[in-house]
Structure 1
Amino acid sequence: MILVGVEVFGVALAAGWAIAGLFELGDTVSYVLMALFSVLGLYLMWGFWKKAVEIEPVTG
């Protein structure tokens, strides 16, 4: 889960930076896009976590 989470957030940050750079939108828009994509990544990770726990429950 940690590896997948780091990869999702890395892609989210890189996508925001790349889109803002490609269209020359500036630093502020770049940060906003990174934040939006990070929130989307967090939502996707939450869904992934729920499915993973359904298949293999956490016991402790």
Structure 2
Amino acid sequence: MAGSQEAGSNVAGSKGARHGGNLFTVLSATALIATEALATAVAAGWALAGLLNLGDVGEYALMGLFSLAAVYVSVIYFRRAVRVEASLTV
């Protein structure tokens, strides 16, 4: 009997560790996606402003506008990733 209780506690402990590992994975993936999205947004704002000769103010405005969109997409990605990871129970 005591052996079965110990085995059950190990399984419960591994589920807790696995859940924490999943959260770390989601945070890491979100950081990667957010970094790529922000870099793309800044580069797109710089390139588009250069093509349209908008000057420094237009360049910064486009960078800011595209960066807001990138942050929004990153938040949506994080929420969906957390929801999917929460639904995957083993």
Distance in 1 (alpha carbons) for counterparts of 2:54 and 2:69:
20
Equivalent-residue separation in structure 2 for 1:48 and 1:4 (angstroms)? 8
- Alpha-carbon shift at residue 46 of structure 1 (Å): 0.7
Partners of 2:70 and 2:58 lie apart in 1 by 18
Output the TM-score relative to the length of structure 1.
0.90
How many pairs does the alignment contain? 57
Aligned to 1:36: 65
Percentage of identical aligned residues? 42
- Compute the displacement of 1:3 (Å): 1.0
2:51 is matched with 22
Give ranges in structure 1 of 5+ residues lacking alignment: none
Q: Return 5+ residue gaps in structure 2 as ranges.
A: 1-29
Deviation beyond 4 Å, 4+ runs, structure 1: none
